[in-house]
Structure 1
Amino acid sequence: MSDVTDTKKKSMKGLAVVVLVVVLVLPLGPCQGALQDGYCKGKCGSTDVEDTIKNVVLSKFNQDRSIVAALLRMQFHDCFVKGCDASILLDGSSSEKAAIPNLSVRGYDIIDEAKAALEKACPGVVSCADIIIAATRDAVSFSGGERYEIQTGRKDGLVSQASNVNLPSPSISVSDSIAAFAKKGLTTEDMVLLLGGHTVGVAHCSLFQDRLYNYQGTGQRDPNMSLLLAVTLSLRCPKNASVDNTANLDQNPLSALVVDNDYYKQLLLRRGVLQIDQALAMDARTRPTVASLASRSDFTSQFAEAMVKLGAVEVLTDEQGQIRRSCRSVN
């Protein structure tokens, strides 16, 4: 799905005005306005919106615990490109889904199932953007993280273009990463916390193989990677392999699917898989935060706060967006 036509935009703006009038008369209409805690509560008849989403996520989680990493990645990839507007969900040959960094994004079926259940109960009330935020929160809580309060009231975007996707790469420098997060209103500490989502993530060998065999063109491994990790990863990612395998970003097998602070402990042991991960533990601007998170027990609450901040990035107003009836297409 690419840019909608000017006619479509104008009609949507007109619709937004009509809907606003209806909301002023009928308070139980679609969720509108600034983000608020529990904004959609009581607006779906007898159906609890957040419970409905939670039940869908729990069912999927019981089948496949890796959905936690999938949904964390989906939220990050959505919010970091023109804000948290569910534009990553739109189908189309030139939509954000088609961008190379998003080709391995998954979890769309979870959002579709939750949306279908809510549309059946209360059509046109809950945005796809809100569902992404709620589903991610639930997945985190099922995997050992804190069940934090979310804010709702987002609108879904009308535009999704692969050319807009400019996500930080796994080999980005700390300086450039700090700058990229700052453009989204996120601090250096927020950045370190949000990269902590790698506590349950995996990465394809192609994203870090240079660190094993040809770091910065030297023909050698990255000296910042522990020898033990290099040997372990080389077995998983042989040189010139025909299959692009994956490796856990938290190299502690006991916590690779748990939202906890072990990811940071691994970084201090030079066991960061991605270049940016390991760089966090070496740069003077981020190492103190990494060390603090590795030694404290309150990572999950701090991570929750950072996720709430991420979920508020560049949220659309009523005039700029809509509540989609299908998460895969503009109304």
Structure 2
Amino acid sequence: MALKNLLALVVLLGVVGVSVAKPYGNPLGNPRVKGDLDLDYYRFKCPQMESIVRRVTFQYVSRRPTLAAALLRMHFHDCFVRGCDGSVLLKSPNRDAERDAPPNLTLRGYEVVDAAKSALERKCPGVVSCADVLALVARDAVAVIRGPWWPVPLGRRDGRISRLSEANLPSPFADVKTLKNNFRVKGLNSKDLVVLSGAHTIGVSSCGLISSRIHNFTGKGDFDPAMNPSYVRTLKKRCKPTDVRTPVDMDPGSARRFDSHYFNIVAQKKGLFISDSALLNDFVTKRYIQTQVVTRGASFAKDFSDSMVKLGFIQILTGRKGEIRRKCAFVN
């Protein structure tokens, strides 16, 4: 797509994004929500903030489209630990912050958040939280690659605490019961689990995370029987037993497009992670996968938008709680 057309698309989506009804408060009765967010929270405090974040995000993601998956993942990891408070962005001299936890060592895209925050500090110093910047950057990055758009209610404040020990994120090795519980305690249901797993339609993982699954699943040189044997053979050609670095597409054949193809892959038993395959072991999540396959993803974009709005409300800080960081990597 030509640069001019892509810019026009981003601008158009931005207009759509702020036309949704507001304010937002406690979606679906989530008991963990404390206070309300509003789509127009910065209307008078920093009226250009969304356009500033959108411009910076476009500058980075248009040059490096793989950042879309990385920034979406960062927002998810932030919200699942201490809520959507920007705590994943904090650095620690002792390397004991969330970003130092093993699941977060492969996070990318901090420079995008920092650049957007710096631009905002020049325009509206001390006004916009890093938590809100991260939420917007994730949404706008997906929009750049022509993925779904969702409204981002604003008004989060930044947390001051970030602990490696608390980074207990949903595991790619988890069964569906564990995953459902991980999501339930955050106010998300089984549908949210399978819908948000659909984000695996973009991005890559590495051979290291699937090595045992394809080479030595039970310690007898076998592979996971939940995987399609022909797909295992393909993966073995790419990932040797000692290879931990080679990248592997999470949605083979469609890893650069944000679409519903991921559900076709899972239905064919080609889900890369155990957590992907596990979605076939629950009635609700399996039925959703089958529906998306049959309807060619008819409802996926809307469902993803709805679940992302819910995700953005997890354990938020509002009012006088937390702070507005001047730099996202450090508390004030």
- TM-score bucket of the superposed structures, by smaller chain: 0.7 to 0.9
- In the TM superposition, what are the counterparts of 1:173-184 in structure 2 within 5 Å? 173-184=175-186
- The residue aligned with 1:286 is 285
Identity of aligned residues (%): 40
- In the TM superposition, what are the counterparts of 1:189-204 in structure 2 within 5 Å? 189-204=191-206
Provide, for residues 260-293 of structure 1, a one-character-per-residue CA deviation record: whole Å limited to 9, x for no partner.
1000011111111111101212433420011112
AA at the equivalent of 1:229: Y
Identify which range, 217-226 or 49-58, moves more after superposition: 217-226
- For residues 38 and 259 of structure 1, what CA distance do their matches in structure 2 show? 28
SS in 1 for 2:36: coil
CA-atom RMSD, angstroms?
A: 1.3
Provide, for residues 282-329 of structure 1, a one-character-per-residue CA deviation record: whole Å limited to 9, x for no partner.
433420011112333221111011111001100013332011011011
- The residue aligned with 1:188 is 190
- The residue aligned with 1:247 is 248
- For residues 287 and 314 of structure 1, what CA distance do their matches in structure 2 show? 28
- The residue aligned with 1:158 is 160
1:168 pairs with 2:170: yes
- The residue aligned with 2:231 is 229
- For residues 66 and 83 of structure 1, what CA distance do their matches in structure 2 show? 25
SS in 2 for 1:151: coil
- For residues 155 and 277 of structure 2, what CA distance do their matches in structure 1 show? 37
Residue-pair matches, total: 294
The structural deviation recorded for 1:144 is 2.3
1:118 pairs with 2:120: yes
Provide, for residues 221-249 of structure 1, a one-character-per-residue CA deviation record: whole Å limited to 9, x for no partner.
112211221122112211123x5212011
- The residue aligned with 2:301 is 300
Runs of 4+ in 1 over 4 A off after TM superposition: none
The structural deviation recorded for 1:84 is 0.2
- The residue aligned with 2:331 is 330
AA at the equivalent of 1:75: H
Provide, for residues 55-108 of structure 1, a one-character-per-residue CA deviation record: whole Å limited to 9, x for no partner.
111111111110111011101110000100000011112111111111111110
**TM-score under structure 1 length normalisation:** 0.86
- For residues 146 and 207 of structure 1, what CA distance do their matches in structure 2 show? 28
- The residue aligned with 1:277 is 276
- For residues 285 and 151 of structure 2, what CA distance do their matches in structure 1 show? 27
Identify which range, 78-87 or 223-232, moves more after superposition: 223-232
- The residue aligned with 1:72 is 72
Q: Which runs of 5+ in 1 are unaligned?
A: 1-32
**TM-score under structure 2 length normalisation:** 0.86
- In the TM superposition, what are the counterparts of 1:88-103 in structure 2 within 5 Å? 88-92=88-92, 93-103=95-105
SS in 2 for 1:180: helix
Question: Does the CA contact (< 8 Å) of 1:259 and 1:300 recur in 2?
Answer: no
